Amino acid sequence: MLTFVRIFMKHLIITLVLVLVVTPCMADKDDKADSTKNVILGEIVVTGLTGKTRLSDSPLAFTVVTPQALQYTPKTNLIDAISVQPGLAQITTGTGISKPVIRGLGYNRVVVVADGIRQEGQQWGDEHGLEVDGEGVWSVEVLKGPASLMYGSDAMAGVLVLHPAPILPEGEMAAQATTEYQSNQGLLGYTLNFAGNEDGFVWNGRFTDRYAHAYRNARDGRVPGSQFRERDLSAMLGVNRRWGHTHLRFSWFHSVPGIVEGERDSVTGRLVWPQEMSHTTYKHLLPFQHVDHKKLVSENLFVLKKGRLKALLGYQRNGREEFEETAAEADLSLLLHTLNYDVRYQQEDLHHWQLATGIGGMYQRSLNRGEEYLIPDYRLFDFGIYGTATRRWGRWNLTGGVRGDVRQMHASELYDESVLRFRQLDRTFSGVTASLGAVYNPAEDWNVRLNVSRGFRAPNVSELCSNGVHEGSIRYEVGNATLHSEYSWQTDLGMDWTSQYVALQASLFANLIDNYIFLGRLGNVVTDGHKTYQYRQGDALLWGGEVSLDVHPWEALHVQNGFGYVRGARRHAEDCKNLPLIPAPRWNCDVRYKFRRPFQLSLGMEYDFRQNKYFYTDNTETSTPGYFLLNASASYELRVHRCRVATFQLSGTNLLDKAYQNHLSRLKYADTDPVTGRMGVCNMGRNIVLKAVFYLDHAK
């Protein structure tokens, strides 16, 4: 408690000092009168439901990450920029691989929607990142809580909806070039983008190239294996007409991330580097991965007399290879084919009701092509049908729906050198999910919301069948073929309030999960030189909440605070009652001032509290100390004749060069330093980011 008070006073003092410093630069009365134009929460439109809905009418807990937040938040990957929001976190394996966590739940419990369809890769593994070009994401909607109603199995924690840039107005074309440098990893990157709309014929093309050498921190120095290379290409062609639109989207994500093993010298305790290899080389060090993800999506919208019909069909090809002994031939090679489909009809207005019905699902085929194995070959078929209804009565807005899902999985038998590696598995999982929520608007700027939802998730192939080494996770994993589906009941209570000077959002939740699946260590068992872990199952309860507070005494100054807390416990457990992989409570504070001229300055502070509610059975997890990080950024927008020409940004993260370990970092459990006795590898140290964006617009 004393630590909490000290951090609170530190934040308060810094905030007051900045307010006093910038007071002489106070904006004029006209600006002040318009001070709520960017913070009216109820006017934000979200699309993570069946269609476009005002945030003030949604009973679900939503967070919207704006284009400005994505652009000005320093990041090495997309999840870096999103995870600073209250209630969100990330599981990391170095700087090139991050996985989203919503309210303490991650992996296959979070659905990522990109280009309108579920992003399907190898998201069940620690060392499998998100195969999306972060530079091509315009904004992000985060739906917190079970969203199985709309997205089927796997959306138990929530959904990240990644939106591309909106279609340009008729007769306009725009080009953009972005270049970036980050000091810690020597990261170099650039992005080229060209989009337009000519007589309803629309297009958008983007190319991104980024590469980085090993990062450093004050405790470990340079971390071998943390370098990465990423190259992305995307294109959209389409036609917009009064009857609707049809868009064809293609994307290619190509990444070569290293694998951090954390091996240390037995005498010096230093991380082991290959002989005669520079610590700042951009070359691949063994082991490393090779990830290739291709996606083709046909998106079609038809405006009918009484509603809208939307049809999506997508194909994804995800290839992941792991090179351990030589760069010439992959040891582990997985190839995943996915066919997604979704058809929905939305009734605009039927006696004051808004109705939506649809079907959706996917077909998957996964193949092993290497000499090592982690999961078997498998086929998966998924089908769901759903319906939702919305009705407004005065100050009340009610939303509800129901969905049914069936998932069939067939895993093939496999012998490895005459030894049975995987048994044949045939399982069928089904579930019925539902949601009912209400929003009450006691005043124009005040909303209170309550939602109760039922979630469903079928166990994935890794949880059922895995039998092999996860190199990036530094462990041997064993599946459990007897696992049952997870079911959850979650209750959300929230409110938001907006005034001329304050914008406040607060929410509380409780999530009761039956048959919760988690990974636990098998005592001191060692397999193939790695600690051995197996999937287990039991009932669980997660509860907590988030608070976001934006204080803006005038339009130019914003003091934004965000706090998130989640507690995870195993019900009926005889030993440790804590759930694994639960993020520590976190407080973020950002003080931002925008001068009259196009110059913006911000100071950010993050405090992650000590996580002592960890899963200690068989030393699966360890406690994580709290830490404080200081960030800052400055940006300048160059205009010529009132036209935006370029934006320049200088920012720094972890300016105090703090050596710390995030509780969800998988590198936390690497080798122990024999000299200091500290286990694992720390996160990135001080990082200075230089970024420039150049614009070229043309309109008739």
In a 10 Å sphere around its CB, with 0-12 CB exposed, 13-18 middle and 19+ buried, how is residue 698 labelled? exposed
Which CATH number does the domain housing residue 193 bear?
Answer: 2.40.170.20
Distance CA 591, CA 17 (A): 11
DSSP 668: G
The DSSP string of 213-247 is: ---EETTTEE-TT--EEEEEEEEEEEEEETTEEEE
348 in Cβ contact with 308 (< 8 Å): yes
SS3 content of the chain, % helix, strand, coil (to 5): 10, 55, 35
Q: What is the mean pLDDT of residues 351-359?
A: 87
Residue 376 falls within a domain, yes or no? no
Residue 471 falls within a domain, yes or no? yes
| pTM, two decimal places | 0.89
Give me the pLDDT at residue 40, please. 46
pLDDT reading at 700 higher than 60? no
Angle at 413 between CA 408 and CA 419, to 5 degrees: 155
Give me the pLDDT at residue 122, please. 87
- Only one residue has tokens 């590469």, namely 211
> CA dihedral in degrees (104, 109, 115, 120; nearest 10)?
130
* Count of other CB atoms within 10 angstroms of residue 329: 12
Provide the pairing of β-strand 110-114 with 158-163.
Answer: parallel
- Digit-coded pLDDT (tens) for 98-144: 899 999 999 889 999 999 999 999 888 777 888 999 999 999 999 98
Domain enclosing residue 146, as ranges: 2-332+349-370+384-699
Give me the pLDDT at residue 328, please. 84
List Cα–Cα distances, 419 to 413, 414, 532, 563, in angstroms. Answer: 11, 9, 19, 52
Distance CA 339, CA 353 (A): 33
pLDDT reading at 400 higher than 50? yes
Q: What is the mean pLDDT of residues 472-495?
A: 90
pLDDT above 70: percentage of residues in the chain: 91
Residues facing residue 161 across a β-bridge: 113, 141
pLDDT reading at 15 higher than 60? no
Give me the pLDDT at residue 33, please. 32
> Number of structural domains, the chain?
1
pLDDT reading at 342 higher than 90? yes
Residue 338 falls within a domain, yes or no? no
Q: What is the mean pLDDT of residues 435-463?
A: 92
Residue 495 falls within a domain, yes or no? yes
Q: What is the mean pLDDT of residues 662-681?
A: 92
pLDDT reading at 221 higher than 90? yes
**Residue 657: pLDDT band by 50, 70, 90 thresholds?**
very high
481 in Cβ contact with 464 (< 8 Å): yes
Residue 377 falls within a domain, yes or no? no
pLDDT reading at 460 higher than 90? yes
The answer to whether the Cα torsion of 142, 144, 145, 149 is positive or negative is negative
Tokens (6 digits) for 658: 């703090």
Give the three-state DSSP class for 351: coil
The DSSP string of 101-170 is: EETTB-GGGEEEEETTEE--SSTTSTT----S-GGG--EEEEEES--HHHH-TT-SSEEEEEEPPPPPPT
Upstream peptide bond of 674 is cis (omega within 30 degrees of 0) = no
pLDDT above 90: percentage of residues in the chain: 65
192 in Cβ contact with 247 (< 8 Å): no
> Residue 62: enclosing H or E segment and its boundaries?
strand 61-65
Give me the pLDDT at residue 49, please. 54
Between these two residues, 85 and 15, which has the higher pLDDT value?
Answer: 85
Q: What is the mean pLDDT of residues 494-506?
A: 92
Q: What is the mean pLDDT of residues 588-607?
A: 90
Q: In sequence order, which residues have a C-beta less than 8 Å from that of residue 667 and are 6 or more positions away?
A: 92, 93, 94, 223, 260, 262, 661, 680, 681, 682, 683
Give me the pLDDT at residue 516, please. 96
Residue 344 falls within a domain, yes or no? no
Q: What is the mean pLDDT of residues 679-687?
A: 95
- Digit-coded pLDDT (tens) for 282-336: 998 888 999 999 999 999 999 998 889 999 999 999 999 999 888 888 989 999 9
Give me the pLDDT at residue 2, please. 45
pLDDT reading at 61 higher than 50? yes
pLDDT reading at 239 higher than 90? yes
Give me the pLDDT at residue 643, please. 86
Give me the pLDDT at residue 39, please. 42
Distance CA 207, CA 220 (A): 34
Give me the pLDDT at residue 123, please. 85
Residue 340 falls within a domain, yes or no? no
Residue 13 falls within a domain, yes or no? yes
331 in Cβ contact with 290 (< 8 Å): no
Helix residue ranges per DSSP H, 449-565: 461-465
In a 10 Å sphere around its CB, with 0-12 CB exposed, 13-18 middle and 19+ buried, how is residue 52 labelled? exposed
Mean pLDDT of all residues in the chain? 88
Q: What is the mean pLDDT of residues 26-48?
A: 43
Tokens (6 digits) for 668: 């936390």
